[in-house]
Amino acid sequence: MVSQNEKSSTRLPPGQRETKALLRWGVDHPGITRSIPRRNLSTWKMVVDGLVENPLTLPWNDFLKLPFTEATIDFHCVEGWSVRNCLWGGVQFRILADLAKPKSEGKFVFFESEDGYTTSLTLEELDKAMLAYKLNGKDIDDELGGPMRLIVPDKYAYKSPMWVRRITFRDKKDLGYWERKGYSDTADPWKNDRYR
């Protein structure tokens, strides 16, 4: 188990307050749709495509065969709340990237979720990211993005999409759902970088 928090765990980013539990999406938040995608692991597939040498389509059982890791990562919501010391478990993003073999021009990664949510990050920003399916030793609930969600350390949580189903490598940065609505594309909580 490793800690991926680069900032001191004795303080919070500016404008954040600590809470003890992650809020439930769809219950405490309406989300971009008014319904929560429900897991069906027999039909679930992760697609990795775009500017890669080896496009992937991974059913759930194949995804679970990838190397498992755990990391303690704080979770910061742009609305001003943070949960410290969340123990996330899953697959490091770079493991999946190594399997897909991005082409030299595929430096940007676009994420699409089951509910239509999107966001994008650079490969560099994803260096410590995780495709998580465990939280504090338990499967991630549907309300929190299960069966699998992205977790990106030191970014506001809108850069950590829930219910991820497609990952596309691209040669340019495309703004995602909240970024098109005025949220910061860099999303750095330590710089209080909420809006553009």
**Segments making up each domain of the chain, as ranges:** 42-186
DSSP letter (8 states) at residue 154: T
- Comparing CA positions, the residue from 152, 39, 31 lying closest to residue 90 is 152
CA distance 69 to 89: 6
CA distance 110 to 174: 7
Q: What is the pTM of this model?
A: 0.91
pLDDT (tens place) for every residue of the chain, 196 residues total: 555 554 545 689 999 999 887 765 545 554 566 678 888 999 999 999 999 999 999 999 999 999 999 999 999 999 999 999 999 999 999 999 999 999 999 999 999 999 899 999 999 999 999 999 999 999 999 889 999 999 999 999 999 999 999 999 999 999 999 999 999 999 999 999 999 8
Q: Which helix (H) or strand (E) element contains residue 99? A: helix 93-100
Helical residues (DSSP H) of 113-176, grouped into ranges: none
Number of residues written out for the chain: 196
Q: Residue 73 in 3-state DSSP?
A: strand
Looking at CATH, the fold of the domain delimited by 42-186 is given as Sulfite Oxidase; Chain A, domain 2 (3.90.420)
CA distance 155 to 57: 27
pLDDT at 99: 98
* 138-139 vs 164-170, strand pairing mode: unpaired
pLDDT at 36: 80
Q: Cα torsion at 100, 101, 104, 110 (round to 10°)?
A: 20
CA distance 45 to 54: 16
Helical residues (DSSP H) of the chain, grouped into ranges: 60-63, 93-100, 177-180
pLDDT at 160: 96
pLDDT at 9: 53
- Comparing CA positions, the residue from 187, 147, 180 lying closest to residue 165 is 147
